[in-house]
Amino acid sequence: MSIVVTDLAVLRREDGQFLLEAVAPGFSPEEVLSLTEMRVKLSAAVGTMEIGE
């Protein structure tokens, strides 16, 4: 598995670690990191998830 999508974020696994790629609208990367129990690094450019209806 290389991509994980949750209600709060999109994470990508690279070189044995998870990178935060995008966050849900209304959340900051810092908020998502504080709510995440595992170790996650920020990617170079964290975006906002597009939510379809």
Segment 1-53, tens digit of pLDDT? 699 999 999 999 999 999 999 999 999 999 999 999 999 999 999 999 988 76
**In the chain, how many domains are there?**
1
- pLDDT at residue 53, rounded to an integer: 64
Assigned domain for 19 exists: yes
Assigned domain for 39 exists: yes
Cβ atoms within 10 Å of 29's Cβ, excluding its own: 17
- pLDDT at residue 52, rounded to an integer: 76
CA distances from 46 to 20, 27, 53 (A): 7, 11, 22
Structural domain boundaries, residue 42 = 3-48
Can you give the pTM of this predicted structure? 0.86
Assigned domain for 24 exists: yes
Rounded Cα gap, residues 23 and 40, in angstroms: 13
**Sign of CA pseudo-dihedral 48, 13, 19, 6:** positive
Strand partners, 3: 12
Assigned domain for 11 exists: yes
CA distances from 47 to 18, 20 (A): 15, 9
